[in-house]
Chains A and B, each alone.
Chain A
Amino acid sequence: MILQQQISVELNMRNSPSDPPCQSALFKGGHQNITFHQHVNPSQFIVWELLQDGPICRRLFSNSGNFWHTGTISCNIPELAAEMIHSLFLINHSGDIFLEKHWKSVISRSVCDYFFEAKEKAVDPENVSPVLQTPHHYLITIYRDKLFFLSVIQTEVPPLFVIEFLHRVADTIQDYFGECSESVIMDNVVTVYELLEEMLDNGFPLATESNVLKEMIRPPTILRSVVNTLTGGSNVGDTLPTGQLSNIPWRRAGVKYTNNEAYFDVIEEIDAILDKSGSTVFAEIQGVIEACVRLTGMPDLTLSFMNPRLLDDVSFHPCVRFKRWESERVLSFIPPDGNFTLMNYHVSSQNLVAIPVYVKQSITFFEMGPCGRLDITIGPKQTMGKTVEALMVTIHMPKAVLSANLTPTQGNYTYDLATKVLVWDIGKLNPQKLPNLRGSLSLQAGAPKPEDNPSLNIDLKIQQVAISGLKVSRLDMYGEKYKPFKGVKYLTKAGKFQVRT
């Protein structure tokens, strides 16, 4: 808590309660009373911490050092920092701050030192605690695309609120520039800055819908940047956005297309843990419906499923009418313009989850001699008659593994000596000739045999099928007269798919 205004404090320090004061401090200011708690450390530093505000004068006490301290404090109620998010720092992987934005008074970059300290300790950037406490601030950080978004908070705020907002910022940047990286942000620093200015007002989110933002600040396109340089035009919308004013803030008004189209991608990810013997410890399906809707006017869409009962738990884009879903299990909505995530869903482990591949593996380390053997075979299991593509196996090897000498029957493998990660990129799974990877691992001489076997992380893709069996039955449009092009694509991917060994 920073006291933005001066406070008046009279403080006497004594060696014992009966001694006369030997030192006193006076701070100027104020009229209202406040209660403080004082810490005095041996080196005579006085650190104040605000306990609570209120019209109470209280005696201070502390006997942490060799001094007794009594005193009366009367001071101005310090300015309770009113914003939720005070400042934002963007930090790259190597720890350089490359962008800062303050929504109120400026906070020195040195506040990030606490973060760097934690980052040093954590080794892996993923292990840095998202919430850090410093003497005067709280730092809430997210790690996305090798960048840290660090926000500085001064007062109580739901941490998820901040985290969710930071992700929204990252999403917006991604949406605008196609990727979220340091170089892209620095190339478009002014646009990013303007975006941040619009997204947050005094620390409170203002406009976070990408449709609204795009009306205010147009995303750069090659054509436009050429035109802009020629004509001196700008990429700031000259009409102010209307979306915010309507009841459907996610859609901009006056959308016009010559080709009206609505495409939906049903993407499912299988999260699973398989044990040594290949049986499923845990499996569930997480699905998402990504929509790309380019329709003129104000279309009102209704998307229905053949088998909505499959869906165990759902979350929606705000445009979806929840009550219709509750009563009829259909998605009824006025879509935002462009790409958006319509819904996320979950198919629980109660319904049997089809596991598309099986893995036969043996990884052994010999007691004698610094070596080990590895033998992995992958075969199709329940693939719904489709081919498994983009198959990839990632293994985090124990530290002691120095190198790997393996032969794949298909695809190729890499072993990163620094990170100890073995990646076997297989590609398409051919059911006639199962891919196999075998060979020897050499261990650091003298190191003890690794206790544990590493687990296998599997990536795969199956086109044209949603593994849960979910099917879209129809899409209807109301409110507009034209006939749109419609399409649904299905894709199954491996999510967190892990085989324990």
Chain B
Amino acid sequence: MSANSAFNDEKGGSSSVGEPEYGHDPASGGIFSSDYKRHDDLKEMLDSNKDSLKLEAMKRIVAMIARGKNTSDLFPAVVKNVACKNIEVKKLVYVYLVRYAEEQQDLALLSISTFQRGLKDPNQLIRASALRVLSSIRVTIIVPIMMLAIKEAASDMSPYVRKTAAHAIPKLYSLDPEQKDQLIEVIEKLLADKTTLVAGSVVMAFEEVCPERIDLIHKNYRKLCNLLIDVEEWGQVVIINMLTRYARTQFLNPNMNESLLEEGSDKTFYGSDEDEDEEEEEEKDKKAEAPAMAKRKPYVMDPDHRLLLRNTKPLLQSRNAAVVMAVAQLYFHLAPKAEVGVIAKALVRLLRSHSEVQYVVLQNVATMSIKRRGMFEPYLKSFYIRSTDPTQIKVLKLEVLTNLANETNISTILREFQTYIKSMDKDFVAATIQAIGRCATNIGEVRDTCLNGLVQLLSNRDELVVAESVVVIKKLLQMQPEKHSDIIKHMAKLTDNIQVPMARASILWLIGEYCEHVPKIAPDVLRKMAKSFTNEEDIVKLQIINLAAKLYLTNSKQTKLLTQYVLNLAKYDQNYDIRDRARFIRQLIVPTEKSGALSKYAKKLFLALKPAPVLESPFKDRDHFQLGSLSHLLNAKAGGYQELPDWPEAAPDPSVRNVEVPEWTKCSSREKRKEKKVEKPFYSDSEGESGPTESADSESDSASGSESGSGIEESGSGSESEESEEGSESEEEEEEEKEKDKKKKKKELKKPVQESESEQSSEEEERKHERKSKQRKSESESESDEEEDSESESSQTESEDSESEAEVKKKKKAAESKPPSKPVKKDNKKEKKEMSLLDLDDFEPAPSPQATPVNSFLSNSLATDLEGLSLSDAVLSPATISPSSALKSYEMLHRITGEGLSVEYCFSRQPFSPDANMVAVQMQFTNNATSDTKNLHMEDVKLQSGMRVKEFPEIELLPAGEMVTAVMGIDFCDSTQAANFQLCTHTRKFFVSIQPPVGELMRPVFLTENEFKKEQGQLMGMNEITEKITLDVKCRNEHSIVQRVITAANLSRVPCGSDKECRFAGRTVTSSSLVLVTVATKEEGAAKLTINCEKMVIGTMLVKDILLALTQ
């Protein structure tokens, strides 16, 4: 902000020491004597008996106040009318009183008794308005009266009066900070208020009076979260901002385990991979791994943290930009990485609003886009610039575009920049050139393109454009000067024309720095410059001296005299900097007897390799300010700014937020539970706490489950060590137990349970899935094994997988500890399971493993489960699904055509973490040749429009006989068009292509039966495709149908009441269109296949594929 520096210097002196500017400047009245004359008749009118006259007089007075004129001399006349019966006169008198009471304290006291009477009025609205005016009269002497009035009003029957009391608190506090302690008491009392009317105002008061007393919030935290949606908009903003700060002090960083997870999991799982078959060895292994695993404490989101995130999310749909921004900053600061994305859409929506709103939102988007680029990438085009945008908006949009630029979109962005360069707004053009420079430094691939473009700009008519280009080119050239001597030559010619000093200086520096690349031109430039030296600007002069010095060192033969001449000129320059520099340089480069030790190093000094400049966004690291705040906008701390605290190392005791609820008095804190083992239904307590809205909420079941997750986690780990001898968490063991558990569970499930039937059935499905996926795996790997055998298999898993298993195990233990006696308890357990699962999705999945083993095992059902639970929004959790079955491999390059290199690819069905809209393709490179292959990478990607590819990282070395895998992402745009590209080694290039089966263009989503039916109902008619089929003989049980369908398409199973029907759901990866598949079986292998999908082409193709899978 330009005003920033002005802060200190402007308006300096006495006036700024701290006195408010009470003095009336001439403009604000007083000088117009006519006012005084007129005041006499006003006084008369006020003294009259007629209300209409009084009203007229008051109106005129208020109009004068509005114009900023001084009417303080009327105070006595006006204050008399405070008890006037006419309500309009009364209101205007109030307006006057509030404005002038501070100046005429003694007289103002006359009015106090009226208000005191009003405070006792039976009408709540009169009580409120009396308190409002009383507290607005800023007279110190009435502080005790105000205090009393506030205290009384705080326990008033009417919430409206209580709200007014909350409003009065900051007023009193600003009048007399001494009252703080008493006021805090009142705040504490009002915070406990359960009405939405009061909540916003009291939090406002809290923020003003005692923002540091975070402890007052504990008990009210859950209530505030639950009330939030019904609070009025302005209160919402204040509460959300306050809760952001609160959460930062009370919860753990949801993103802290990211790095830890990646490392840790990789090691352990590879280790166990090797001794896959022998259980005994595994046992040992387990023991060895146990301590390592124990160290890594899994992150579990506090249910209260989740509550906050869940309850604020709907507010993204608010019409009030401030509310949307508040939620956005809350998500940015508090949500797990994978969930932050939801705010992007809402923020982009705000860009349509008034330009002031745009300005603020873009500032915040600019900061966010540095940290979380992926979030805004899909909305790239929303940041395109229109010629009618105000300059400041243009520059901010440019900033965002630059931040969003990456290898895949840079070409479109550059094309867009090209149109901007032609703009009439020259400031904007300059900013665009800077932006191109930044793109070029950040993205190596386009550096040359950018450079060429900028060089073309050198012939632009506008000097400012040329100058800016020169400066940017200079920075770019510094990165690889060898290649570009021709550009330097070109620029040397420009010195004849360009007059902008900064540009001239840049050119000279360049020539000097790289004079060896342009040995012929450099001395000539110096010759010209020597001629014009005296007329140059200071920065240019300095660079001429620099150039002379460098040339002298490299080419003294030709330039000795010239250098002497320049230095002589500089010696007598007016500027002492230039004189100093000349003297200094002469001593350094011209060898004399007297010259010191330094001159030996002159070459080193001048011709040292200079590091290339780093072009950074001005918005980098701005996020240490709370986003959306004034301080963030100004990039400077504003008065009264509350620092956003860092996450705590360890979470403070969460039990402080517990509110006494009769049901679970037996165990009041989680601490106890932790120690004691899982005895009590945790669930009931968290439900009890989470208040009324939850039960009404359709999401509440699963979500409230998630809340108590942490509690179970903790308790689980407690009980675990006691029960299991090994006390280890090795996955083989877990798996085994899981299997047992599964069976047990299944048995349990068969018993009728009254509540949550759908949940149960879904659970059952999961179990089946799990088993099936295992089975499939076993089939693929060790031919046809029995189920039991498959248990023994160890597997390489993703980190999250291990977590899930650990959790299942714990849960199972919990189950053991209390045999299923009552249905209610069972219920708890079930929910518990879900809760513990949900916590997983707070883990960031290891981003695109460079070399994941093929066929990595992950239980499909668990993963789908996760997705479903993760707040039911697909966007939220783009990354939790796993490959379910043996992955079908396709050949990309045969080893004969590939001259020894063979490549197979498969669709790993894992989320491609860099971009959720991409399908992850896992490639396995095998080097069958006798020599090593180097620099495996891809080039020349040819795509249908709209498709995008994220290339796999270059594989530097693939030794003979070795095998390596890599993952790339392709956005197929929901089409089965092939992605063609060249696979390059250090010697050869191969044309290859990847064509996806339609089933791979989707990702599973979790739906409940009801949701499924509802969605299906909306996808009728054209969007529905039905086919009658006869099932393959081997494929007539539900089991194999599910298996085959899931093999054919990346879908997840949807629970279904009838066993005659199998339902599956998924969404297409790019457009997120729902794909619903139903297989209804009849007698004799007859069946009906129904596919509902908005995208008819996808639907038709999918029908074919599934048909094939089921009938063969």
Contact = CB atoms under 8 A, between A and B. Distances in A.
Q: Do the two chains belong together in a single complex? A: yes
A92 to B, nearest CB: 13
Contacts of A119: none
A194 B91 contact: yes
Contact of A105 (B27, B59, B66, B102): B102
B129 A134 contact: no
A106 interface: yes
A448 B391 contact: no
Contacts of A313: 345-346, 348-349
A245 B234 contact: no
Given A107-B21, A158-B237, A133 B174 contact: no
A282 B51 contact: no
A498 B697 CA distance: 44
Contacts of B931: none
Which of A135, A165, A315 neighbours the largest number of chain B CB atoms within 10 Å of its CB?
A: A315
B461 A316 contact: no
A326 interface: yes
Interface stretch (A149-157, A258-266, A466-474): A149-157
Contact of A282 (B99, B159, B384): B384
B422 A156 contact: no
Given A49-B8, A98-B67, A194-B91, A142 B173 contact: no
Size category of the A interface is 35 or more
Contacts of B960: none
B174 A79 contact: yes
B32 to A, nearest CB: 15
A370 interface: no
Nearest to B324: A315
Contacts of A135: 6-8, 10-11, 16
Contacts of B631: 156
Which of B12, B124, B230, B697 neighbours the largest number of chain A CB atoms within 10 Å of its CB?
A: B12
B17 A155 contact: no
Given A129-B392, A158-B629, A194-B91, A134 B3 contact: yes
A229 B643 CA distance: 56
Given A47-B12, A322-B314, A7 B68 contact: no
A434 interface: no
Contacts of A455: 386-387
Contacts of B639: 1, 50, 80-81, 154-156
A396 B424 CA distance: 10
A126 B174 contact: no
A167 interface: yes
A417 interface: no
B633 interface: yes
A163 B630 CA distance: 12
Contact of A350 (B86, B138, B317, B1071): B1071
B655 interface: no
Nearest to B634: A133
Contacts of A160: 321-322, 325, 357, 360-361, 628
Contact of B55 (A193, A197, A232, A346): A232
B63 A189 contact: yes
A89 B920 CA distance: 57
B662 interface: no
Contacts of B22: 105-106, 108
A485 interface: no
A323 B699 CA distance: 10
A127 B361 CA distance: 16
A184 interface: no
Contacts of B1094: 309
Contacts of B641: 155-156
A327 B698 contact: yes
Interface in A188-243: 189-190, 192-194, 197, 201-202, 204-206, 208, 232, 234-236, 238, 240-241
Interface string B684-699: 0000000000001110
A344 B94 CA distance: 39
Given A108-B24, A129-B359, A240-B126, A159 B174 contact: no
A235 B422 CA distance: 56
Contacts of B230: 247
Contacts of A163: 321-322, 354, 356-357, 360
A109 B26 CA distance: 10
A318 B630 contact: no
B167 A142 contact: no
Given A2-B18, A153-B630, A313-B349, A167 B354 contact: yes
A443 to B, nearest CB: 14
Nearest to A234: B88
Given A130-B356, A204-B204, A396 B387 contact: yes
Which of A46, A161, A457 neighbours the largest number of chain B CB atoms within 10 Å of its CB?
A: A161
A398 B461 CA distance: 15
Nearest to B872: A326
Contacts of A463: none
A101 B99 CA distance: 9
Contact of B319 (A127, A282, A317, A450): A317
A312 to B, nearest CB: 8
A204 B158 CA distance: 20
Which of B10, B66, B346, B422 neighbours the largest number of chain A CB atoms within 10 Å of its CB?
A: B66
A360 interface: no
Nearest to A27: B17
Contacts of B3: 114, 118, 132-134
Which of B25, B52, B159, B209 neighbours the largest number of chain A CB atoms within 10 Å of its CB?
A: B52
B66 A108 contact: no
A107 B20 contact: yes
Contacts of A114: 3, 6, 10
A164 B321 contact: yes
Interface string B185-214: 000000000001100010010001100000
Contact of A234 (B4, B86, B698): B86
A451 B138 CA distance: 62
Nearest to A455: B387
A428 interface: no
27 contacts: A1-B639, A4-B174, A46-B17, A49-B8, A82-B174, A133-B6, A135-B7, A138-B630, A155-B638, A160-B361, A163-B356, A189-B67, A193-B65, A194-B95, A204-B170, A236-B88, A238-B87, A313-B346, A322-B314, A344-B319, A396-B424, A399-B424, A448-B461, A452-B424, A457-B388, A498-B388, A500-B387
Interface of B: 1, 3-4, 6-13, 16-25, 27-28, 50-52, 55, 59, 62-63, 65-68, 86-88, 91-92, 94-95, 99, 102, 123-126, 129, 132, 135-136, 138, 158-160, 167, 170-171, 173-174, 177, 196-197, 201, 204, 208-209, 229-230, 232-234, 237, 241, 314, 317-322, 324-326, 345-346, 348-349, 352, 354-357, 359-361, 381-382, 384, 386-388, 390-392, 416, 419, 422-424, 460-462, 628-631, 633-634, 636, 638-642, 696-698, 1018, 1071, 1094
Given A126-B390, A153-B630, A318-B233, 14 more contacts: A81-B640, A109-B28, A133-B634, A142-B354, A143-B355, A160-B321, A232-B51, A234-B86, A244-B197, A247-B196, A316-B317, A326-B698, A327-B698, A341-B319
Q: Report the 3 A-B pairs with minimum CB-CB distance, sorted nearest first.
A: A3-B18, A155-B640, A240-B125
